[in-house]
Structure 1
Amino acid sequence: MASSSSKDYVFTRDYLDNNRINLQHSLSVQLFGYHIHQSIPTPTGNSSIADVGTGTGKLPSSARLDGLDIFLDAAPLPELLPQNVNLRLWNIKDDVPEDLVGVYDVVHVRFFAFVLQQPDLENVIDNLAKLLKPGGYLQWTDMDVSSIRLEKIKPDIEADAQLTLMKLFQGNEDRLQPAWVPELPELLTRKGFADVESDAKECQPYLALAFHECGLLATEVLARNKEGEKDGVGLLKQVLDQAAKETRHGSNLAFTRYTFIGRKQ
């Protein structure tokens, strides 16, 4: 992840965005039912786990946990973290530091759909593989933005603002229209990972609503980050207000979400 001043990150880095990240984390664990996929051997006290793009540093409380991110202002101060958790600056697109090569049993990646673009992927996967020990596992969770659709509890419910919001949110930015997430298993296999698995999840209606309202929060944060721009910000805020009302009447935007697993040979 990157700071709000970076062209690589479209959201703010403030308390509102931090709460969005934490909520997104909790909802994802609820949806998938695990922190670490059942195909990955249970980490022991001697295991080392890297959480790449750690954001607010919200991590499981076992083994050694290193949170790696390009920007750590969203994370708690080091004095507030458990003793087994360390934070370190690292950009997923940059070369892996020598002292981190081959260190980790598990590398965990989540929510890079709006950060990475198609040309970044091969280099990023190479970098993640370098972090792993031989036999170590990569776990990557993301949403397929190309699967976006409108869901209603009744066909005649008005949801014009929801559809407009979707178009305004994506706009003309390639970062907001990624379609590469379903291709990750093929990329992982091509890059030499074995035992590649894909766990696709669709939300129950109550969870879809929670994810959707988290998405509304993401749109609010995006609008705040674009306040210095003239194009469409006022309209975005107006449509957001109406979309929030439509949500309470029984409509929401939904996505397919995936977790991918691969073992380094």
Structure 2
Amino acid sequence: MFSSDDKVAEATRLAEQHEFITSGLGFLIHPVIEHHINDYEAPVRIADISQGLQFPPNNDPRLPRCKLETVRMSIKDVVHPDGVQEYAGMFHVVAVRLAHLIIGNRDWNTAVDNLISLLRPGGWIQWTDWDPRTARIAGVKPGAEDKALRNLLEKYSDVLKEKQVGTTYRISSSFTEAGLVEEDSDMYPLPPDSGLTSNIAHGALRQLETVGSVGSGEIQQLIRGVDKEIEAGNSLIWYDLWCHIARKPKQSKRS
């Protein structure tokens, strides 16, 4: 069990990660979607489905100029067969972030169906997530120590493979299979950064601790080694960030 301090620290880490993501993308709402919604006179309803809060206050200049109504929804609700039934067909935009590591194979189809059911005809889904299986080390200095970071990434990759999660490619293919149109997927390589490395590394450490794949003693040893290498600033983690968008047909056979 995580303490209240642990939960606060995790909320802070997620908030920082959202800022890294938004800065890397250069937008909160994909420009293609923003082009379609900016001239709406009625409020644009957005479902925010993510770990942490992906959207800042409404006065943030990075938001579209149209009036927005954002409804926060839980990923846990999305994987439940009837979890979002009351919101069916209500949203112009469904914005998903940091979700594919939580949604396992068993719940994947249910989650995709539920996400699409939230959309109004002609509505857009935007799904932004890391590709954790492409994690790699960027050596700032030749020969820099990176043993702890590599050990962490190997253990983390093993957990993802065992749980069969973390593959971003299935997002776009699921959109197509579900009958969505105007699908587009773009990769945004974020430059290596010590702050991002620390954020990603501690998220991976928390995941290892949560699933119990390594003991508490080994976790503490990993934390010390990883923090030491990050503080030296000579070895950094580099991930690919993906943003997938698609549109629900205006005349759809699906709910």
Query: Do these two structures clear the TM 0.5 threshold for a shared fold by scoring above it?
Result: yes
Q: How far, CA to CA, are the matches of 1:146 and 1:230 in structure 2?
A: 18
- C-alpha separation in 2, matches of 1:158 and 1:149: 14
Equivalent pairs, count: 234
SS of residue in 1 equivalent to 2:247: strand
Are the equivalent residues in 2 in contact too, given 1:69–1:92 (CA < 8 A)? Answer: no
Q: Which moved more, 1:118-127 or 1:139-148?
A: 118-127
Which residue of structure 1 lines up, in the alignment, with residue 223 of structure 2?
240
Q: Distance in 1 between matches of 2:165 and 2:125?
A: 21
C-alpha distance in structure 1 between counterparts of 2:213 and 2:128, whole Å:
34
Cα RMSD (Å): 2.7
Q: 5+ unaligned residues in a row in structure 2: which ranges? A: 59-66, 250-255
1:251 is matched with which residue?
235
- Give 2:73's aligned residue: 68
DSSP-derived class of the 1:14 partner: helix
Partner-residue secondary structure (3-state), 1:95: coil
> Deviation per CA, 1:130-168, whole angstroms, max 9, x where unpaired?
100000000000011111111111331121111112233
TM-score under structure 2 normalisation? 0.81
Residue 37 of structure 2 aligns with which residue?
A: 42
| Mapped partners of 1:244, 1:54: distance in 2 | 24
Q: What is the match of residue 146 of structure 1?
A: 133
Task: Report Cα offsets for 1:191-234 as digits up to 9, x if no partner.
Answer: 1110001120111233xx322110133245446657xx694321
Aligned residues of 1:113 and 1:145 also touching (Cα < 8 A): no
* Aligned mate of 2:195, from 196, 203, 210: 210
* Greater helix proportion: 2
Aligned-residue offset at 1:115? 0.1
Q: Secondary structure at the match of 2:37?
A: coil
Output the CA distance in 1 between the equivalents of 2:241 and 2:31.
Answer: 17
Q: Counterparts of 1:56-135 in structure 2 under 5 Å? A: 56=53, 58-61=55-58, 62-69=67-74, 90-135=77-122
Q: Deviations over 1:7-64 (max 9, x none)?
A: xxxxx97101100110111110000000100000235552111011353474451511
TM-score when normalising by structure 1: 0.78
Contact 1:51 1:108 in 2 (8 A): yes
Displacement, 1:169?
3.5
Task: Give the whole-Å Cα distance in 1 for the aligned partners of 2:227 and 2:217.
Answer: 16
Identical positions, percent: 23
Indicate whether 1:25 and 2:9 are aligned: no
